Amino acid sequence: MRVVGQELPRVEILEKVTGQSVFGADVLPGGRVLAGKMVLSPHPHARITAIRTERAERLPGVKAVVTAADLPAIRYGRFVRDEAYFATTKARYAGDRIAAVAAVDEETAEEAARLIEVDYEVLPSVTSGLEAMAPDAPLLHEDYADYWAQPDLDRRGNVCGHKQIVRGDVERGFAEADRIFEHRFHVPMVHQTYIEPHTATARFDASGKATVWASSLALFPLRAAIAQILRMPMTKVRVIPTEIGGGFGGKLSPTVEPAAVVLARKARRPVRIVMSRSEDFQTTNPRHPFHLRYKTGVKHDGTITAREIEVVLGTGFSAGSGVMISQGAAVRAPGPYRVPNLKIDSYCVYTNTSTCGAYRGPAGPQLAFASESQMDIIARELGIDPVELRLRNAMVDGDETPAGARLEDVHAKETLLKAAEAMNAVPRPPGNNVGRGVAMAHWLVGGMASSAGVKLNEDGTVAILTGLVDLSGASTSLAQIAAEVLGVSLDDVHVRTADTDFAPHSTLSAGSQALKSMGGAVLLAAREAKRQIQQVAADKLEADPGDLELDGNTVFVKGSPERAVTLREVGQMALEHARGPIVSTQSVSQLTPHPAIAAHAAEVEVDPETGRVRILRYVAAQDVGTAVNPLSVRGQIEGGVMQGLGQALSEACTFTDGKMDNANLLDYKIFSALDAPPVEVHLVQHPCASGPLGAKGVGEPPIIPPPAVMANAVYDAVGVRIHDLPITPEKIVKALKAKRAAQR
């Protein structure tokens, strides 16, 4: 291939390095923009007895104040309709939306927000999913049984979804085992912490049409949500994407957009809401906290005979996507291994926090931390090398997921061996407190409803039209796919992400499936455009269309390159040709899922006095299919590893009395350049049958193994096992003290 597989800079890179990219807060909607501000509940759980807005409305400079009274009385939710946009009778977390204001400037809007008086009767609250399952726990939704929910959803009290998977006979599996291991793990809530906070700008025109500029990963679902919340037809809602300053799954669900629209409608002026960093931490959709119990039976030789797994997700005050994520967690819980006998219970539980969402690789790091920590414990107990134990049980082509889907293009063993080989290529440095750890994980990449348009311009250049928001280089990869098919260079292809009025329906920028889905649509559209090009050129060249090849911006007869026309000529000829302009829009949906494997290894040095972990080396091997753009692929892997290491060692949203107590970038510690180790990336490339030109999804897998890798490396270094993320210096020092005390 000529263009696919090349390390090419991103198509929109010039705007990015010159400061010209237009992000959420940079949009100029026309007219003076009012500043919007949300009024949020300070209490994690409270009955609302009165909301008084008069003082705020009287403040000079205030142009609109809105509450639930300004919206139709509906509850929404994909799995359970349990969420109202503004709280009416009850606030269910510290951050629940009560009202919103718009004023001439930010200071006035903030003052107006303070002047809104809300009377609360504070109720007992619960932020732990496990505690919320207890019979005497405070109930978040007293009327849950009356809510509409997807049929067959098993709900009871605070449990808004329970998924059970049984394969084989787990009791028989444990009976066959020589050893049985059972451990509990805990993973706290962590936040995506993109650098651009949530931002929305809205205007409402005289015809009743709302235009929303959003930094959203999901244009079409956002349009649908706004239309639903405001009860408007979709033709009256237009969502225009801005550049998006990081998402990682945190910008999939509506947050401030509906408020901006309803404020703009009431104020008859454009309104912009920019979340403060503290609001962003407290009111968006972070990663679910998990409690996990893993029970695993093994033979003396390490063969797994059974796994019984229980996971509890704290989903927050509404089910959100938690139901889907808990179901996906059940399917991936056993890890990339063949486990003949399984019993998995996955519970999605209401808690008094913001609704958790689909942070990159949802459920992945939590499950892998538990599963891969336990694999390490088992290896040590059985005296088997940790890599060898994993190889012995690794899944292979033809194996099935716990849900019964047959997997192909599985490269677990090769990927793990690649990571191990790279780590072992350099001898372990001397020193007492140096250790190495390894972990392997998988992600399942589906493909969702997507369409894309490809057209040939009259000058022979190519345009791609999508509704896909690009964060991680997707537009560049789509252009590479079209360039490959049409025989042009990347410079000859222009990709445009259009808004919901103009773009064909496109998938979310989520789940590592954007390139699979959209690339699939672009590939089909480019092939159809090629067929049309061949048809037009065939008349001119007096040849059979099937004998024509496209390369170097020309169309020529196979074997006779002198019999050629340029794409520019074809673009012009098509206008005079009976077939007409060359353009195609194609769609895909429900693509066969493929597994994508990440195997990581690390070498750390732990200071036993301070508990500080220094990462000496980090190796990430990943099974990526065909790397359409290796520069983007490596970038995804390096960035994913660093987020995963943050979750491993320093990140956690912590709560006191139901309120997040580290909602700022000083106390919520993401990695800085000084914390970041170099990452050695190794790509395992085998074309994948279900991906466009062989590509696999690459964004999620690299974030999944790091917490387990760190836990295993720390154990190897100093002999203490941390079961509760993050692995902080305090926990290591405490565990070392306990270990010394036990030895005395």
The residues annotated with a catalytic role in the active site are: 700
Containing H/E element for 226?
helix 219-229
Residue 18 burial (CB count, 10 A): 8
CB of 251 to other proteins, least distance (A): 11
State the DSSP string of 281-339. Answer: HHHS--BPPEEEEEEEEE-TT--EEEEEEEEEEEEESS-TTHHHHHHHHHHHTT-SB--
Q: Which of 709, 707, 686, 697 is nearest to 619 (CA)?
A: 709
Could you tell me the smallest distance in angstroms from the CB atom of residue 297 to other proteins? Answer: 38
How large is the angle between the packed helices 706-718 and 630-649, nearest 10 degrees? 50
**What's the burial of 545, exposed, middle or buried (CB within 10 Å: 0-12/13-18/19+)?**
middle
505 CB burial (10 A radius; 0-12, 13-18, 19+): middle
**Rounded distance between C-alpha atoms, residue 341 and residue 179, angstroms:** 15
Of 1 and 14, the one with the shorter C-beta distance to other proteins is: 14
Give 464-530 as a DSSP string: EEE-PPPSSSHHHHHHHHHHHHHT--GGGEEEEE--TTTSPP---S-TT-HHHHHHHHHHHHHHHHH
Strand-pair category, 462-466 with 493-497: parallel
- The CB-of-641 to other proteins minimum distance in angstroms stands at 6
CB of 244 to other proteins, least distance (A): 6
- For residue 726, whether the previous peptide bond is cis, meaning omega lies within 30 degrees of 0, is yes
One DSSP character per residue, 696-739 reads: ---SSGGGSSHHHHHHHHHHHHHS----BSS--HHHHHHHHHHH
Q: Which is nearer to other proteins, 578 or 666 (CB)?
A: 666
Measured between alpha carbons, how far apart are the two ends of the chain, in Å? 65
Please count the other Cβ atoms lying within 10 Å of the Cβ belonging to residue 573. 18
Query: From CA 626, how far away is CA 695, in angstroms rounded?
Result: 4
Nearest distance from C-beta of residue 247 to other proteins, angstroms: 8
If the CB atoms of residues 32 and 744 are measured against other proteins, the closer one turns out to be 32
Shortest approach of other proteins to residue 666 CB, angstroms? 5
Q: Are 165 and 159 in contact (CB under 8 A)?
A: no
Shortest distance, position 632 Cβ to other proteins, whole Å: 7
Burial class (CB in 10 A: 0-12, 13-18, 19+), 55: middle
Continuous segment of H or E residues that includes residue 260: helix 257-267
H helices within 52-188, ranges in order? 54-58, 106-115, 129-132, 170-176
* Closest alpha carbon to 706 in 439, 335, 500, 400: 439
Residue 540 carries which DSSP code?
H
Nearer to other proteins, 17 or 50 (CB): 17
Nearest approach, Cβ of 39 to other proteins (angstroms)?
A: 19
Beta-sheet strand order (sheet of 90-91): 90-91, 46-52, 117-122
- Nearest residue to 512 via CA among 599, 438, 596, 453: 596
Side-chain half-sphere CA neighbours of 258 within 13 A:
27
Question: CB of 83 within 8 A of CB of 13?
Answer: no
Tell me whether residue 247 or residue 691 sits nearer to other proteins (CB atom): 247
* Residue 638 CB, nearest approach to other proteins (Å): 4
Neighbours of 418 (CB within 10 A): 21
Residue of 511, 510, 550, 527 lying closest to 452 (CA atoms): 527
Q: Report which of 247, 223, 284, 241 is spatially closest to residue 24, judged by C-alpha positions.
A: 241
Question: Which of 10, 167 has the CB closer to other proteins?
Answer: 10
10 Å CB burial of residue 443 (0-12, 13-18, 19+) is buried
Q: Which is nearer to other proteins, 40 or 670 (CB)?
A: 670
CB nearer other proteins, residue 398 or residue 678: 678
Residue numbers of the site for other proteins (CB under 8 A)? 9-10, 13-23, 25-26, 192-197, 243-248, 274, 276-277, 471-473, 631-632, 634-635, 638-643, 664-666, 670-674, 676, 678-679
Q: Choose between 352 and 622: whose C-beta lies nearer to other proteins.
A: 622
- 179: which strand partners? 298
Nearest approach, Cβ of residue 25 and other proteins (Å): 7
- As a whole number of angstroms, the distance between CA 733 and CA 740 comes to 11
> C-beta of 13: minimal distance to other proteins in Å?
4
- Per the rule left: phi > 0, alpha: psi between -120 and 50, beta: everything else, 152 is left
| Residue matched to tokens 């892998």 | 368
* Residue number, 446 or 706, with CB nearest to other proteins: 706
- Closest to other proteins by CB, 193 vs 346, is 193
Provide the minimum distance between the beta carbon of 307 and other proteins in the complex, in angstroms, as a whole number. Answer: 32
